[in-house]
Amino acid sequence: MNSASSPISSVPAAGAICEACGRFEAVRMGDRLLCPECISVAGSCCPEFGAWDAWSSKTGVAPRSDTTESRSPGQNPPGASTLCIHAGTHHEARIGGACSPIFTSTAYAFPNPANENIYPRYFNTPNQQVIARKVAALEKGEAAVVFGSGMAAISTLLLAHLKPGDHAIFQNDLYGGTVQFINRELTRLGVEVSWGADAAEFATVVRPETRLIYVESPSNPLLRCVDLAAVAALGRHHAVLTFVDNTFATPINQNPLGYGFDAVVHSATKYLNGHSDVNAGVVVGAAELIRRVMAGAVNFGGMLDAHACSQLERGLKTLAIRVQRHNENALALARFLQTHPAVARVNYPGLPDHSTHALAARQMRGFGGMLSFELRDPAQVDRMMSRLRVIMPALSLGGVESLICVPSRTSHRTMSPAERQRAGISDGLVRLSVGIEEIEDLWKDFEQALATESITRNPHSAAP
């Protein structure tokens, strides 16, 4: 990499051009000369060669196939944690550092082996590509592009595919910022929109001008799941694109591309980074779709800088192990709250009485770290929030720390009361992002925050 300033932790390797992709300096891999990009894991970075093969020959680990059944005996596909740690890393061959160097340059020499203009707002710098390859590998997509926020990813994905006169279908209960973008920007640009709850409702509003269907599963903040296979099949039937916000599920719990979705979008600010200290977004899909998204992204400009990419890369390395703990804690806390006398209703897809539990059990590998609930007396919400000691009242979600908020006043406050009512979001609904603290400390925090003279603990409660 010939850049105007040196990477922080290493210097670029000198040598031959990669025989697989014709880019960057190559190192010898058996009888081949490959660049660090192609030695990395994701297939997206090098369709000419198939980077899986390169990684396999380096590590002796066979590539993961899409289904367990299609694996031949004796293969040992990398698991989620292995991908989180190793996929996409920019290996610096000369020094051999374990971590991708940070390439701070905004100017890269031209011409270069790829004959490509490398520039942060072109979404093609080494650190941006590390994230793209890692998330593409985790979502089992061909390619990905990283943005400066989840909303930059969502808005660019939608604007890249819609023009005045087009029609788009959206799920009722989406993240409030997405709803605001649809209502204030898409409609202003002459895009017609329809809303629905599930594939059956979407089917009734499809028109010849319909370009795409957009869903969130589980949804924010009611944790409703949509049938991903049914929505993707509907899209295919009508030649309509299908997009899904997979932020709440994470690629550890769910891979929508495997159900036939065309694109997955993430607010990487949440679980992918996981430490409440980076704002970022990612779109994953087929190489052709990502090329189209990047063509729009260059004009909209919502890129992520190298330092933030590096911080996000570090966060991603522990995604699988964090999500496993989020899943465990959220299920335990949902069961606890469900039996608490002060709580009227808990929304968590892992509870058997949740409206989409069976669906979640079918299409998710874990039920996620998000839940929401309503108190029997909505007037007690502020009192409870002010008495919590471990759980922090705050906007956002997906970090290691437990965060609690009232969606009607935070994430969904820009929606009108009528829109909130249509989405089923009451003013007393509380959303909880369950962190990875000790579960006993979270139980105790709710015990003391919900305690009143008049309410005593249910002696039949399963949880302590």
Ligand X SMILES: Cc1ncc(COP(=O)(O)O)c(C=O)c1O
What is the SS3 string spanning 58-125?
HHCCCCCCCCCCCCCCCCCCCCHHHHHHHCCCCCCCCCCCCCCCCCCCCCECCCCCCCCCCCHHHCCC
Residues 6+ apart with CB under 8 A from 452: 342, 380
Nearer to ligand X, 101 or 369 (CB): 369
**Binder among 171, 172, 267, 363 for ligand X (CB under 6 A):** 267
Catalytic residue, chosen from 32, 58, 71, 121, is 121
Q: How far is the CB of 246 from ligand X (least distance, A)?
A: 9
Q: What distances in angstroms separate CA 74 from CA 60, 175, 288, one per listed residue?
A: 12, 43, 34
**Binder among 40, 105, 127, 149 for ligand X (CB under 6 A):** 149
d(CA 17, CA 19) in angstroms, rounded, equals: 6
Q: Is 247 in the site for ligand X (CB under 6 A)?
A: yes
Q: Which of residues 276-295 bind ligand X (CB under 6 A)?
A: 279, 281
Q: Please name the residue that has the structure tokens 């990477």.
A: 7
Applying CB under 6 A, the span of 75-83, 245-253, 286-294, 321-329 interacting with ligand X comes to: 245-253
Contact 265, 243 (CB under 8 A): yes
Q: How far is the CB of 180 from ligand X (least distance, A)?
A: 11
Nearer to ligand X, 23 or 322 (CB): 322
Angle, nearest 10°, between helix axes 126-139 and 306-317? 30
Q: What distances in angstroms separate CA 344 from CA 80, 336, 347, one per listed residue?
A: 37, 12, 10
Nearer to ligand X, 12 or 150 (CB): 150
Collapse the DSSP code of 140 into the 3-class scheme (helix H, G, I; strand E, B; otherwise coil) and give the result: coil
**Binder among 89, 255, 269, 327 for ligand X (CB under 6 A):** 269
Q: Is 43 in the site for ligand X (CB under 6 A)?
A: no
Q: Is-catalytic flag, 122?
A: no
| H or E element that contains 374 | strand 370-375
Q: How far is the CB of 278 from ligand X (least distance, A)?
A: 9
Per-residue binding string, ligand X, 161-200, x by CB under 6 A, is --------------x-x-----------------------
Nearer to ligand X, 215 or 333 (CB): 215
Q: Is 369 in the site for ligand X (CB under 6 A)?
A: no
Q: Is-catalytic flag, 444?
A: no
d(CA 252, CA 272) in angstroms, rounded, equals: 10
Q: How far is the CB of 366 from ligand X (least distance, A)?
A: 17
* Chain centroid to CA 236: 23
* Chain centroid to CA 118: 26
Per-residue binding string, ligand X, 204-243, x by CB under 6 A, is ------------x---x-----------------------
Applying CB under 6 A, the span of 30-38, 244-252, 325-333, 375-383 interacting with ligand X comes to: 244-252
| H or E element that contains 199 | helix 199-205
Q: Is-catalytic flag, 259?
A: no
Nearer to ligand X, 126 or 150 (CB): 150
Q: How far is the CB of 361 from ligand X (least distance, A)?
A: 21
Looking at residue 163, the DSSP 8-state letter turns out to be -
**Binder among 139, 198, 245, 313 for ligand X (CB under 6 A):** 245
Residues 6+ apart with CB under 8 A from 376: 341, 342, 343, 344
**Binder among 12, 101, 141, 150 for ligand X (CB under 6 A):** 150
Q: Is 253 in the site for ligand X (CB under 6 A)?
A: no
Q: How far is the CB of 42 from ligand X (least distance, A)?
A: 22
Q: Is 407 in the site for ligand X (CB under 6 A)?
A: no
Contact 161, 211 (CB under 8 A): yes
Please give the angle made by the CA atoms of 442, 331 and 435, to the nearest 5 degrees.
45
Q: What are φ and ψ of residue 195, in 5° steps?
A: -125, 150
Q: Is 246 in the site for ligand X (CB under 6 A)?
A: no
Helices (H) and strands (E) in the chain, counts: 16, 14
Catalytic residue, chosen from 166, 173, 227, 245, is 245
Q: How far is the CB of 150 from ligand X (least distance, A)?
A: 2
Joined tokens for residue 368: 């996620």
Catalytic residue, chosen from 224, 270, 420, 431, is 270
Q: Is-catalytic flag, 420?
A: no
Catalytic residue, chosen from 175, 214, 271, 348, is 175
Quickly list DSSP for 304-366: --HHHHHHHHHHHHTHHHHHHHHHHHHHHHHHHHHT-TTEEEEE-TTSTTSTTHHHHHHH-SS
Contacts with ligand X: how many residues (CB under 6 A)?
15
Q: Which residues would be at the binding site for ligand X (CB under 6 A)?
A: 149-151, 175, 177, 216, 220, 245, 247-248, 267, 269, 279, 281, 411
Annotated catalytic residues are 121, 175, 245, 270
